[in-house]
């Protein structure tokens, strides 16, 4: 069971509507709908607020969420790790990448090793709409390679992008989800200048 399915289950048990839960959490009804359909996941701070609204522990809310839930709240807290947030990477025409850490975000990550390879980046632009919106944070696993179809943070010189990565017989294509943006095509030789920063693992939307 996903966390969205758990939210829906608890909401129905309590007799709440999506609109009612949204009002209690001060979020849009569409945000609750996206949680329940798996299109978005709440961050850990919001998970705590959701648990409070339902009158349950974080443990119960996270039960069956991709793994056996932690046995108690102390274990959940122990798994919180501080991840650096960078501002910003363009998801549109491109902007100079900034390497300044602007914040540290607590995230539920199982191991120190995984946390060491994790960063968050603020996305600017609408080329990845509707999957990633302007202002969203993306949780990124740092790695220098990617599979075709992965959404990546990638550098082309001083320009940084969040795009879907496609490898072709002729080189590399960086593809937007928003059809208003044309694919960015690189020959095999040109693609040698590209540097993958990491692969997007999660989208975190500000409430």
Active-site annotation holds for 77: no
Spatial contact of 35 and 7, defined as CB atoms under 8 Å apart: yes
- Please list the residues that pair with 173 across neighbouring strands: 166, 185
Query: Catalytic: which of 88, 90, 127, 176?
Result: 127
DSSP-derived letter for residue 67 is S
| Alpha-carbon dihedral 113, 117, 123, 128, rounded to 10 degrees | -100
Active-site annotation holds for 163: yes
Residues constituting the chain: 207
Query: Catalytic: which of 30, 163, 187, 191?
Result: 163
- Compute the distance between CA of residue 207 and CA of residue 204 in angstroms, rounded to an integer: 9
Beta-sheet pairing, 159-168 with 151-156:
antiparallel
Positions annotated as catalytic residues are 127, 163
């Amino acid at each position: 069971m996903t966390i969205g399915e758990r939210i829906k289950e608890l909401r129905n048990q309590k007799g709440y509507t999506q609109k009612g839960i949204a009002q209690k959490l001060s979020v849009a009804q569409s945000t609750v709908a996206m949680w329940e359909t798996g299109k978005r996941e709440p961050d850990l701070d919001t998970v705590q607020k959701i648990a409070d609204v339902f009158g349950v522990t974080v443990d119960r809310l996270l039960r069956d969420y991709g793994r056996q839930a932690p046995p108690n709240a102390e274990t959940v807290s122990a798994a919180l790790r501080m991840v650096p947030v960078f501002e910003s990477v363009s998801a549109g025409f491109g902007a100079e990448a900034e390497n300044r850490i602007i914040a540290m975000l607590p995230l539920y990550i199982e191991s120190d090793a995984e946390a060491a390879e994790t960063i968050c980046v603020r996305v600017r632009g609408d080329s990845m709409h509707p999957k990633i919106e302007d202002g969203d944070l993306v949780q990124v696993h740092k790695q220098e390679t990617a599979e075709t179809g992965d959404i990546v943070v990638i550098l082309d010189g001083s320009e940084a992008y969040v795009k879907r990565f496609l490898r072709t017989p002729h080189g590399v294509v960086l593809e937007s989800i928003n059809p208003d943006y044309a694919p960015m095509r690189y020959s095999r030789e040109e693609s040698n200048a590209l540097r993958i920063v990491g692969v997007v693992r999660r989208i975190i939307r500000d409430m």
